[in-house]
């Protein structure tokens, strides 16, 4: 058992936890923004995947990592807008439309990679590069802190800044104020002249962009290539974090961080003498336990902060 | 944009306004209405008389098919609420348009937030709300969350919303339907103060007594047309009711003395531990065949729980209930129905009807599985339709066809469908909860007649209502509930006044146990 503690309290583990939590954080905030706008974005998974693939391909062909990342985010944003359009213009059920987008992303990315690179697995044959890491000159040399904080990817930093950003957006800005009103009580928002649809489109675009950033991190930070279905359910786990966090920015932040830590733990424990199949179930098992806990708390205490119309 | 108001003209007016919907229904026909500034104008009419449609046109939610809407003395084209708001029209909707998780102040400023460069100044919002509340005499707690404040405060929040938008005209759509008498009084005081400050108020209501109390003039609508406008001082409830329905109509109920038969409902020491809501303690009473027993009480004192227990929706935690000799305490809803219990729930939209389904289907939900409507598990659509047509005819349900979904019906007609279903089953015991809530006078009168007719046919009727006038008009005997306890029992309702019963409802007076249980058979076993 002591070896487990050695793992958990090592600076390598903490650094890995931050790295692994990055896509969860970004995708979860994407999910949160959409949820509070009143449209469940179950397509986080597909948006991440599409962004990861687009990013790696564009970066590989153009030689520009920045262009790749921006293209990936743009594609995910468009998918967010597409989900909003399906819901708002055609009246489609957001869950069904989201499942459709996820299947589309899974199939389309595999098809694109195969067509372009003649490779059924991914883009490892393409030299895409990764987004830059951020060294912290002063802190680098401090024993534990330096190992944990310095040298993290740019997007990891962005992911951690997303929490205060979304909190600020929700509770300080007119846009966030309108977004929350629209998501919770669209009729009330409409009756005071708030353009409900426009706010929802904007919310879903932002949601898609955040998921896109998460996806870009996977193929251009975590590793330097795209692998078919590389999101591996992270979009859905992020969605679980949205609800586990009680639809509040800091709650979602903690929940996503928890899921990140669970996955990092699984990775680190893989080096020990524990069956790897068992270890790799940790994030998913934790999701189930967490959701059950959330449901139980909710049942005991009544409903949480807000119940968006999408629920 | 308020400066574009014409000083001398009417605040709000309609000129030959007609509204015809796409399906050919003409909701408003050639209405001419003029409301001068600084007046409280009541607009009354039965459901479907067109008053809501007219108000929606003033608020930009609907556009007239022909004719003109005038706001501030000038003809206007209102493409939406935003245009009406900009011209100084505010509307308080019947189902309040507030965001539950927002505070009072946040709701007041929503859409017109104080602050700069896309930021909301939360402190300014609270200050604005407090100042408006102070000026208008509408007491609110600006920092309280909407879902944690009373309905009355929510409504005051809605009015403050309109004031924050500098409304000069305030449309109140059935504002008192959700208020307690005290809150209603406070609302009226605030509305008068607003009028004295120059506000024009359009007050939509069913309740003629309140209309007489609050308004300066009353406009009466019937079947889409404006029947007339009279000064409130010259109007009586009776004359207004006659204008509304087009014939002389009173709500006095003709009923002969009850012919009490055998005891049908026997409740002994009924107890209920409520997880949420009101618990019930040791209730004992009888309801006999052929009598209407009213249950009075301030809402939330256990009436809803009692009704749901007697209908089989909740299980009691103590005591016994017998209906016509059957012990129903442990039975489910189907068992209660087999024992002859009919139930008109207080929340008809949630518990009384499936709104997306047709009238015909709603009329058979309690008997779809047996002849003549079904044989060997197969439904006979023709029989279902014939059954619906018969009841639509008998209960004067206004609809073009039995296949119309319930959602398309007015409140009164939805209630008629439910009452038709429950009474046509020939119940031995009818639990009727808030039967006339939100229905118009014509439908109200109809319900009264039906309940008395059911009684005369030998049904035991337990009538639960928040309307004391109604209880006194219909009940042969009256029980009073307070905090889940039986505190009053009146075996003769003749000469009983609302004020007297009110003392029991408030807990000022109560009957002792001996009086409450007098004449109840002691045994817990039913007499066969």
Ranges of CATH 3.40.50.300 domains, chain B:
2-245, 263-517
In the numeric block, which tokens belong to residue B48?
């479907």
- pLDDT of B528 reads 40
Helix pair A44-62, A196-217: axis angle to 10 deg? 60
Q: Which of A35, A174, A202 to mutate to test the interface with B (most CBs of B within 10 A)?
A: A174
What is the strand order of the sheet B217-222 is part of? B89-92, B169-173, B200-205, B40-45, B217-222, B225-231
Nearest to A55 by CA among A215, A228, A234: A215
In the numeric block, which tokens belong to residue B368?
């779809």
* Contact yes or no for A123/A60 (Cβ under 8 A): yes
Nearest to B281 by CA among B475, B503, B513, B526: B513
Q: If you average pLDDT over residues B390-399, what whole number do you get?
A: 89
Per-residue pLDDT of A42-81, as tens digits, reads: 999 999 999 999 999 999 999 899 999 999 999 999 999 9
Q: Which of B95, B107, B110 to mutate to test the interface with A (most CBs of A within 10 A)?
A: B110
A35 and chain B in contact, CB less than 8 A: no
**pLDDT at position A307 over 50:** no
- The C-alpha of A182 sits at a distance from chain B's nearest C-alpha, in angstroms, of 9
In this prediction, residue B317 has a pLDDT band, given cuts at 50, 70 and 90, of: very high
Which among A173, A191, A192 has CB closest to B120? A173
Is the CB of A191 less than 8 angstroms away from the CB of B100? Answer: no
The residues that bridge with B229 in the sheet, in sequence order, are: B219
Specify the higher pLDDT residue, B383 or B95.
B383
Distances (CA, A) of B186 to A276, B131, B137, B153: 69, 18, 9, 11
Measured between CA atoms, the residue of chain B closest to residue A194 is B111
In this prediction, residue B452 has a pLDDT band, given cuts at 50, 70 and 90, of: very high
Burial of A239 (0-12, 13-18, 19+ CB in 10 A): buried
Is the CB of A191 less than 8 angstroms away from the CB of B115? Answer: no
The C-alpha atoms of residue B141 and residue B157 are separated, in whole angstroms, by 9
In this prediction, residue A21 has a pLDDT band, given cuts at 50, 70 and 90, of: very high
* Contact yes or no for B263/B239 (Cβ under 8 A): no
Is the CB of B97 less than 8 angstroms away from the CB of A177? Answer: no
- Going from the N-terminus, what domains does chain A have, and what CATH number goes with each? 2-301 (1.10.3470)
**pLDDT at position B2 over 50:** no
Per-residue pLDDT of A182-212, as tens digits, reads: 999 998 998 888 889 999 999 999 999 999 9
In this prediction, residue B201 has a pLDDT band, given cuts at 50, 70 and 90, of: very high
Pairing label, strands B74-76, A133-134: unpaired
- pLDDT of B525 reads 47
- pLDDT of A3 reads 65
Q: Is B270 helix (H, G, I), strand (E, B) or coil?
A: strand
Measured between CA atoms, the residue of chain A closest to residue B119 is A173
In this prediction, residue A303 has a pLDDT band, given cuts at 50, 70 and 90, of: very low
The C-alpha atoms of residue A207 and residue A81 are separated, in whole angstroms, by 9
**A86 Cβ neighbours under 8 A, 6+ residues apart:** A92, A94, A97
Q: Is A235 helix (H, G, I), strand (E, B) or coil?
A: helix
Which among A173, A174, A188 has CB closest to B97? A188
* Element (DSSP H or E) covering residue A69: helix A65-88
In this prediction, residue B50 has a pLDDT band, given cuts at 50, 70 and 90, of: confident
Average pLDDT in chain B: 87
A181 CB neighbours in chain B (<8 A) are 99, 102, 110
In this prediction, residue B522 has a pLDDT band, given cuts at 50, 70 and 90, of: low
**pLDDT at position B3 over 60:** no
Highest mean pLDDT among A9-23, A233-247, B41-55, B403-417: A233-247
In this prediction, residue A8 has a pLDDT band, given cuts at 50, 70 and 90, of: low
The C-alpha atoms of residue B340 and residue B351 are separated, in whole angstroms, by 19
Pairing label, strands B263-272, A133-134: unpaired
- pLDDT of A304 reads 42
In this prediction, residue B520 has a pLDDT band, given cuts at 50, 70 and 90, of: confident
In the numeric block, which tokens belong to residue A77?
């944003």
Provide the strand spans (E) within B349-500: 374-375, 378-379, 429-433, 460-464, 477-482, 485-490
Per-residue pLDDT of B131-186, as tens digits, reads: 999 988 888 999 999 988 888 889 899 999 999 999 999 999 888 876 777 788 88
In the numeric block, which tokens belong to residue B511?
């009957």
Per-residue pLDDT of B267-316, as tens digits, reads: 999 999 887 778 999 999 999 999 999 999 887 789 999 999 999 999 99
The C-alpha atoms of residue B168 and residue B97 are separated, in whole angstroms, by 19
* Element (DSSP H or E) covering residue B318: strand B318-323
Is the CB of A189 less than 8 angstroms away from the CB of B111? Answer: yes
* Element (DSSP H or E) covering residue B391: helix B381-394
The residues that bridge with A92 in the sheet, in sequence order, are: none
Specify the higher pLDDT residue, B522 or B48.
B48
In this prediction, residue B527 has a pLDDT band, given cuts at 50, 70 and 90, of: very low
**pLDDT at position B251 over 90:** no
In the numeric block, which tokens belong to residue A81?
């807008």
Nearest to A241 by CA among A163, A184, A300: A163
**pLDDT at position A309 over 50:** no
B100 CB neighbours in chain A (<8 A) are 184-185, 306-307
The C-alpha atoms of residue B38 and residue B194 are separated, in whole angstroms, by 9
Distances (CA, A) of A7 to A2, A3, A90: 9, 6, 51
- The C-alpha of B448 sits at a distance from chain A's nearest C-alpha, in angstroms, of 36
In this prediction, residue B16 has a pLDDT band, given cuts at 50, 70 and 90, of: very high
Distances (CA, A) of A127 to A58, A123, A224, B91, B125: 11, 8, 8, 63, 55
Is the CB of A189 less than 8 angstroms away from the CB of B110? Answer: yes
B102 and chain A in contact, CB less than 8 A: yes
* Element (DSSP H or E) covering residue B161: helix B151-164
Q: How many CB atoms lie within 10 A of CB B370?
A: 9
**B296 Cβ neighbours under 8 A, 6+ residues apart:** B465, B468, B471, B478, B479, B480, B481, B488, B501, B504, B505
Nearest to B438 by CA among B231, B116, B143, B178: B178
Which among A175, A185, A307 has CB closest to B118? A175
* Contact yes or no for A211/A26 (Cβ under 8 A): yes
The C-alpha atoms of residue B450 and residue B280 are separated, in whole angstroms, by 30
B106 and chain A in contact, CB less than 8 A: yes
Is the CB of A175 less than 8 angstroms away from the CB of B120? Answer: no
Provide the strand spans (E) within B22-166: 26-35, 40-45, 66-71, 74-76, 89-92
Burial of A114 (0-12, 13-18, 19+ CB in 10 A): middle
Nearest to A73 by CA among A4, A158, A6: A158
- The C-alpha of A76 sits at a distance from chain B's nearest C-alpha, in angstroms, of 26
**pLDDT at position A311 over 80:** no
B97 and chain A in contact, CB less than 8 A: yes
Average pLDDT in chain A: 87
Q: Provide the b/e sequence for A287-309 (b: ≥16 CB within 10 Å).
A: beebeeebeeeeeeeeebebebe
Burial of B309 (0-12, 13-18, 19+ CB in 10 A): buried
The domain B263-517 having CATH identifier 3.40.50.300: the answer here is yes
A192 and chain B in contact, CB less than 8 A: yes
Per-residue pLDDT of A95-122, as tens digits, reads: 999 999 999 999 999 999 999 988 888 8
- The C-alpha of B161 sits at a distance from chain A's nearest C-alpha, in angstroms, of 9
* Contact yes or no for B462/B265 (Cβ under 8 A): yes
Measured between CA atoms, the residue of chain B closest to residue A185 is B99
In the numeric block, which tokens belong to residue B136?
């208008």
Nearest to A73 by CA among A247, A212, A258, A175: A212
Is the CB of B93 less than 8 angstroms away from the CB of A174? Answer: no
* Contact yes or no for B422/B363 (Cβ under 8 A): no
Interface of B with A in 140-169 (CB under 8 A): 161
Domain B2-245 sits in which CATH superfamily?
P-loop containing nucleotide triphosphate hydrolases (3.40.50.300)
B118 and chain A in contact, CB less than 8 A: yes
């Amino acid at each position: 058992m002591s070896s487990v503690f050695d793992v958990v309290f090592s600076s390598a583990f903490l650094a890995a936890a931050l790295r692994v939590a990055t896509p969860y954080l970004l995708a979860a905030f994407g999910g949160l923004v959409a949820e509070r706008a009143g449209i469940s974005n179950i397509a986080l998974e597909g948006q991440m995947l599409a962004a990861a693939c687009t990013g790696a391909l564009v970066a590989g062909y153009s030689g520009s990592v920045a262009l790749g990342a921006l293209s990936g985010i743009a594609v995910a944003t468009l998918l967010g807008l597409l989900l909003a359009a399906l819901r708002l213009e055609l009246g489609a059920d957001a869950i069904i439309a989201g499942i459709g987008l996820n299947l589309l992303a899974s199939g389309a990315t595999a098809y694109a990679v195969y067509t372009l690179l003649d490779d059924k697995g991914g883009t490892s044959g393409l030299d895409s590069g990764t987004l830059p890491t951020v060294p912290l000159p002063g802190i680098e040399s401090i024993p534990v802190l330096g190992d944990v904080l310095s040298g993290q990817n740019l997007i990891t930093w962005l992911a951690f800044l997303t929490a205060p950003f979304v909190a600020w957006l929700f509770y300080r800005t007119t846009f966030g104020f309108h977004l929350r009103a629209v998501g919770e009580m669209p009729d009330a928002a409409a009756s005071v002249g708030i353009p409900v649809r426009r706010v929802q489109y904007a919310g879903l675009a932002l949601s898609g962009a955040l998921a896109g950033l998460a996806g870009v991190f996977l193929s251009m930070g975590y590793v330097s290539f795209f692998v078919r279905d590389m999101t591996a359910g992270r979009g859905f786990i992020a969605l679980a974090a949205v609800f586990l966090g009680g639809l509040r920015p800091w709650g979602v932040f903690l929940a996503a961080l928890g899921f990140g830590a669970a996955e990092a733990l699984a990775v680190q424990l893989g080096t020990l003498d524990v069956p790897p199949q068992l270890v790799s179930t940790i994030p998913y098992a934790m999701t189930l336990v967490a959701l059950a806990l959330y449901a139980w708390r909710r049942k005991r205490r009544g409903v949480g902060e807000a119940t968006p119309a999408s629920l | 944009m308020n400066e574009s108001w014409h000083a001398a003209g009417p605040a709000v007016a309609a000129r030959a306004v007609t509204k015809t919907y796409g399906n050919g229904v003409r909701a408003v026909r050639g209405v001419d209405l003029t409301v001068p500034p600084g007046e409280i104008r009541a607009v009354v009419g039965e459901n479907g008389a067109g008053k809501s449609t007219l108000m929606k046109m003033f608020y930009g939610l609907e556009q007239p098919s022909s004719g003109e809407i005038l706001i501030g003395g000038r003809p206007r084209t209102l493409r939406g609420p935003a245009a009406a708001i900009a011209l100084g029209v505010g509307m308080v909707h019947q189902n309040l348009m507030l965001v539950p998780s927002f505070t009072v102040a946040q709701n007041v400023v929503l859409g017109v937030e104080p602050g700069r460069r896309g930021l909301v100044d939360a402190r300014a919002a609270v200050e604005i709300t407090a100042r408006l509340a102070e000026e208008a005499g509408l007491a609110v707690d600006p920092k309280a969350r909407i879902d944690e404040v009373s309905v009355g405060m929510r409504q005051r929040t809605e009015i403050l919303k309109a004031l924050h938008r500098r409304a000069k005209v305030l449309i109140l759509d059935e504002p008192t339907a959700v208020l307690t008498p005290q809150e209603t009084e406070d609302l009226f005081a605030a509305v008068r103060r607003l009028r004295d400050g120059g506000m024009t108020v359009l007050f939509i209501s069913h309740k003629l007594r309140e209309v007489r109390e609050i308004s300066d003039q009353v406009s009466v609508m019937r079947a889409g047309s404006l029947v007339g406008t009279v000064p409130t001082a010259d109007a009586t409830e009776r004359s207004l009711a006659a204008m509304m329905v087009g014939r002389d109509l009173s709500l006095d109920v003709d009923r002969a003395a009850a012919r009490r038969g055998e005891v049908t409902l026997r409740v002994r020491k009924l107890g209920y531990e409520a997880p949420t809501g009101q618990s019930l303690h040791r209730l004992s009473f009888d309801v006999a065949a052929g009598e209407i027993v009213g249950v009075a009480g301030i809402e939330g004192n256990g009436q809803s729980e009692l009704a749901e227990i007697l209908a089989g929706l909740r299980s009691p935690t103590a005591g016994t209930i017998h209906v016509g000799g059957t012990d129903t305490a442990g039975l489910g809803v189907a068992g209660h129905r087999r024992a002859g219990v009919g139930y008109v729930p207080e929340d008809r939209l949630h518990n009384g009807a499936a709104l997306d389904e047709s009238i015909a289907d709603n009329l058979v939900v309690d008997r779809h599985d047996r002849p003549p409507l079904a044989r060997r598990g197969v439904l006979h659509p023709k029989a279902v339709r014939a059954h619906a047509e018969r009841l639509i005819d008998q209960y004067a349900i206004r609809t073009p066809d039995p296949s119309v979904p319930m959602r398309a019906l007015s409140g009164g007609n939805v209630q008629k469908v439910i009452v038709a279903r429950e009474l046509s089953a020939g119940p031995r015991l009818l639990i009727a909860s808030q039967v006339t809530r939100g229905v118009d006078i014509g439908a109200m009168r109809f319900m009264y007649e039906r309940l008395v007719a059911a009684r005369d046919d030998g049904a035991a009727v337990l009538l639960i209502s928040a309307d004391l006038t109604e209880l006194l008009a219909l009940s042969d005997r009256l029980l009073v509930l307070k905090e889940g306890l039986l505190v009053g029992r009146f075996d003769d309702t003749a000469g009983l006044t609302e004020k007297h019963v009110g003392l029991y409802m408030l807990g000022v007076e109560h009957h002792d146990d001996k009086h409450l249980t007098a004449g109840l058979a002691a045994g817990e076993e039913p007499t066969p």
